[in-house]
Structure 1
């Protein structure tokens, strides 16, 4: 793209090494005005230092937005209505945050009259795809600058040298130490990549995990909680109504204290390579178990089974960055229609890394009929003799085939 054509760009900015270098690089290489956007999606870090750093770099328009409620309400909860899980293990914590950031980048570009947006995702990862597919879906004409695909600063050493040359301050973590891992956190999860995790045979050290105690160190007695669901979304914990973000934060706290939600995964990236990552998703792990429990009571068999058939495709769409694609929106509409009956309570016992369903009930939508399901006499609610014809009809094709053999 012609650099002279770019007059103003909105940068997804954290204030860390990468995006601080990108900010200066955009100013130097493109000679353009830079607007910074920092999203609070529950990463648990102080964001005001990013404002100070951007201001020191000459940025005039600085956005620091609290998106926690929108993140959980409009992105995490719809995804959990689908019971989405990628490749059987990954609860999509990083994936689901990217479309929200892309959406806000496009909104800010429109508000400020920017020509382009920019991000700090590398050319090897999934995030570049997620950011850019989301951005193009919302503004097909937007220009996107991906510095990692343009510059030659392809190592931490080169980034540090650039920062030193241009007087860019690179702070350590608040406790004076820096994790050796590449980490990404939001209200749904925290992820770890790189360093010794690049060898899939190496077990991560106990000091890597930030949100959860090890199952061995978790309490010796179970923690019992009750979740209330309305139309597929959790709305209360132990009878106390909370906002979506408050519910997820509280489930993270309770789950982390009980050693819940750790995962060590080798996953297939959309760009073609395998990648090993570790994740902590305590609240999401609890939420998924509880949601499936209340669905087991309230969803019709065929609706539930069809949802399970759609789920891997839905999860892949989220993982690969197609949140705003028509096929994801189509599936979401179908999934959300099923959730009108997903109302009730689920009781859970949390114990040393495990989430165990202890009970579920729905006063309005339960399809469980004890008079039919009982092993005792059912007073004619179910005629067991009807099963004979049912079995013979379903066995007909098998019997025909068996005779041919």
Structure 2
């Protein structure tokens, strides 16, 4: 018996659907109603995607949703998900700032919470069976409620083409935007941290992405000819102020997006390795996140001990991979987070960065908790702060094993 058939035998009675108001999730809403004869509750999260969400409410009402949730989660998103991730300086495969990956556990968390409040026995999402998001949504949901059912229509239905989706929409009188009647030029996911574009015109990695793909950043060539200096203040690893003005987490990221986007900062064209095994090409814009990462590394340079910093850097790829693969709520991610958060206890101070033509560069940093000692590193008279003759014994001790190896190898060669 197939998994789909087994699931239909225990069809859900009430489903909470992650709903954007777009064509695909509107089709899913109607498909759930017709396929399972169940109640559908919609949940739309405002994560800073920059779209008006009231049309989603009206569309859900028109299509007979039992209840409709639209929530502004921008502060929670940045405070409890983005900022903890940035304490780790997390980059997947050395480049990707994980903008889509980090949003999914919050959406799943609210799906599961709403399901509990509404007495729903299932949740549903619009992720396809080819990508990473299905894994992220579902691993998070099961981690929070092991009894929850997850309905993934793209793995069940026979609406496998754009033509079939349009036909279904027209049959059930689902409004279709005019630009949805043809093949979409590319797919876009957006939140306060980034935009992600993939598919169609971007599927050939040998072809440069056209300029109209970019939505949050001007091209570096068109950016201002004058650099802009920005000061970012941190407390215990989290940004708290820009140019001396205290701001909330979401407000800080919004402002950094504006500043970074204006100067063409944060563009990335990446061919990445999906968790399910295939490679995919994505074009990302993370202007505020790119500025934040540079500034955070800048303040760590003077406040983080070398042993702690090097250990933190060594675990970062594993931490980033866990987030990318959907394991935000796993014990290993939480263990790594505890280590990372411990490292940030003294990461407080201010960094000045320069934004110019697509680049962000740290040019100054200062802190009351700095480990940098000018009297120790000066080329002038250090007034006895450091005895340079101590270095001789240090070098000889570290050279001992190298000398023994060299002697052994010379003897073997002769």
TM value normalised by structure 2: 0.96
Q: Is the 8 A contact 1:191 1:280 kept in 2?
A: yes
CA apart distance, 1:122 = 0.3
Q: Please report how far the alpha carbon of residue 5 of structure 1 lies from its aligned counterpart in structure 2 after TM superposition.
A: 3.6
Equivalent residues of 2:97, 2:289 under 8 A apart: yes
SS at match of 1:284: helix
1:334 aligns with 339
Alignment partner for residue 273 of structure 2, among 268, 272, 294? Answer: 268
Of the candidates 393, 396, 401, which is equivalent to residue 397 of structure 1?
A: 401
Query: Is the 1:347–1:360 Cα contact (8 Å) retained in structure 2?
Result: yes
Instruction: Provide the rounded CA distance (Å) in 2 between the counterparts of 1:110 and 1:146.
Output: 19
Q: In 1, are the aligned partners of 2:198 and 2:281 still within 8 Å (CA)? A: yes
- CA-CA distance at 1:111 after TM superposition: 0.5
2:45–2:107 contact (8 Å) kept in structure 1: yes
Give the aligned partner of residue 359 of structure 1: 364
Count of residues in Structure 1 that have an aligned counterpart in Structure 2: 403
Q: Secondary structure of 2:345's match? A: helix
Say whether residues 1:29 and 2:35 are aligned partners: yes
Is 1:137 paired with 2:143? yes
Alignment of 1:292-311 (within 5 A): 292-311=297-316
Kept after mapping to 2: 8 A contact 1:9/1:109: yes
Maintained 8 Å contact 1:227/1:236: yes
Instruction: State the alpha-carbon separation in 2 of the partners of residues 165 and 76 from structure 1.
Output: 41
Indicate the residue corresponding to 2:412 in structure 1: none
SS at match of 2:296: helix
Provide the rounded CA distance (Å) in 2 between the counterparts of 1:131 and 1:173.
Answer: 28
Matched, 1:345 2:350: yes
Per-residue CA deviation, residues 15-67 of structure 1 (Å, 9 max, x unaligned), is: 11110110010001111000000000000001111111111111121000100
Question: Greater CA deviation, 276-285 or 378-387?
Answer: 378-387
**Could you list the per-position Cα deviations for residues 372-400 of structure 1 after superposition, in whole angstroms to 9, with x for gaps in the alignment?**
01111111111111111101111111111
1:10 aligns with one of 5, 9, 16:
16
The counterpart of 1:167, out of the listed 164, 173, 190, is: 173
Aligned to 1:118: 124
* 1:268 Cα deviation after fit: 0.3
Distance 2:42 2:308 in 1: 45
In the superposition, relative to structure 1, how do residues 397 and 137 fare at CA in structure 2: closer, same or farther (>3 Å)? same
2:209 alignment counterpart: 204
What's 2:111 paired with?
105
Give the root-mean-square deviation of aligned CA atoms: 1.4
For 1:1-80, list aligned pairs within 5 A: 1-80=7-86
Unaligned ranges ≥5, structure 1: none
Q: Which residue of 1 aligns with 2:195?
A: 190
- C-alpha deviation, 1:319, in angstroms: 0.2
Partner Cα separation in structure 1 for residue 363 and residue 175 of structure 2: 52
Alignment check: 8 A CA contact 2:184 2:200 kept: no
> Could you tell me how far 1:130 is from its partner in structure 2?
0.2
Using the TM superposition, give the Cα deviation of residue 338 of structure 1 relative to its aligned residue in structure 2, in angstroms.
1.0
Q: Which runs of 5+ in 2 are unaligned?
A: 1-6, 410-414
SS of residue in 1 equivalent to 2:212:
coil
261-270 vs 202-211, which moves further: 202-211
String of CA shifts for 1:218-237, please: whole Å, max 9, x gaps.
Answer: 00000111000001000000
Q: 1:180 deviation in Å? A: 1.6
Contact persistence 1:3–1:30 (CA under 8 A): no
**1:126-164 CA-partner distances (Å, limit 9, x unpaired):** 000000000000000100000000011111111111101
For residue 381 of structure 2, what is the aligned residue in structure 1? Answer: 377
Question: Tell me, what secondary structure is at the counterpart of 1:199?
Answer: coil
Partner Cα distance (1:177, 1:352) in 2: 36
Q: Secondary structure at the match of 2:102?
A: helix
Cα shift at 1:177: 11
Which runs of structure 2 are paired with 1:82-93 in the superposition (5 Å)?
A: 82-93=88-99
Aligned to 2:230: 225
Whole-angstrom CA distance in 2 between matches of 1:235 and 1:122: 37
Equivalent pair of 2:162/2:183 in contact (CA under 8 Å) = no
- Which residue, 384, 390, 393 being the options, matches 1:386? 390
Correspondence 1:154 to 2:160: yes
Deviations 1:347-389 (A, max 9, x none): 01100001011100002x1000000011111111111111111
Equivalent in the alignment of 1:253: 258
